[in-house]
Amino acid sequence: MFKDFDLDKIDLKKIEELYSKCLKKYGFQPQSVGWNDEKSHFLRFEKLVQVIEDPLVAITINDLGCGYGALFSFLVARQFNVSLYRGYDISQDMLNAAQSFISDKRAFFIQSNVLLHPADYSFASGIFNVKFDIDVQVWEKYIIYILNNLNQFSLKGFAFNLLTTYVDFKRDHLYYGDPLFYFDFCKRYFSKKVSLLHDYDLFEWTILVKK
């Protein structure tokens, strides 16, 4: 069920242009990648990195939709033992900014909408939220395709987040994911060790998949 989706059906150009514009407007700030402020940005990271079982052991990282590389900076600041970090993004402007923002030799940046190299842990934060006018069913097939990509290239585990369906109102250009559906899907197809985090003060949830 993972291989019958044609990635060319998804036109990410509008999304790429959105984040390039935000980068020019906000610079190296959470707003440039669609988040309201640094506090909520770091809270998301705190939830995502719970998938890492031992921060003292050397690990390799994939970051799909890396933006300007904020996750790498967060991991280093929290003293995770990152031996190699690969950030992927569809926006070349973002990648140029990341290379300017981060001068660490452990960090590499690649223009791609999928992971290309294996790593211990992979992350996808916020990349499924903005769909613009793409049909919901097509977008959900795209998400499933990317989740399989995350699973395929993650040796120890991966984590991702989505806006929740448990909201009072919805915006047409955003996608809201049913947490129960994605928990069940990950549990059935990826691992027996799956956690759903939906107990923090943001209109979203995080799933951790451990191998």
Per-residue pLDDT reduced to its tens digit, 150-176: 999 999 999 999 999 999 999 999 999
Q: Is the pLDDT of residue 33 over 60?
A: no
Task: Quote the number of domains for the chain.
Answer: 1
Alpha carbon 190 to chain centroid, angstroms: 17
Residues forming a β-bridge with 159: 123, 208
User: How far apart are the C-alpha atoms of 181 and 177, rounded to whole Å?
Assistant: 8
94 lies in some domain: yes
Domain range enclosing 185:
7-210
Q: Is 40 helix (H, G, I), strand (E, B) or coil?
A: helix
Residue 90 lies in a domain: yes
Q: What is the pLDDT of residues 80-102, one digit of tens each?
A: 999 999 999 998 888 998 998 89
CATH code of residue 26: 3.40.50.150
For β-strands 204-210 and 193-197, DSSP reports them as antiparallel
- 2: which residues sit within 8 A by CB, 6+ positions away? 144, 145, 148
Query: Is the predicted pLDDT of residue 72 greater than 70, yes or no?
Result: yes
Residues in Cβ contact with 7 at an 8 Å cutoff, skipping those fewer than 6 apart: 113, 114, 142, 145
The pLDDT, as a whole number, for residue 77 is 95
Predicted TM-score (pTM) of this structure: 0.91
Q: Is residue 1 one of the residues assigned to a domain?
A: no
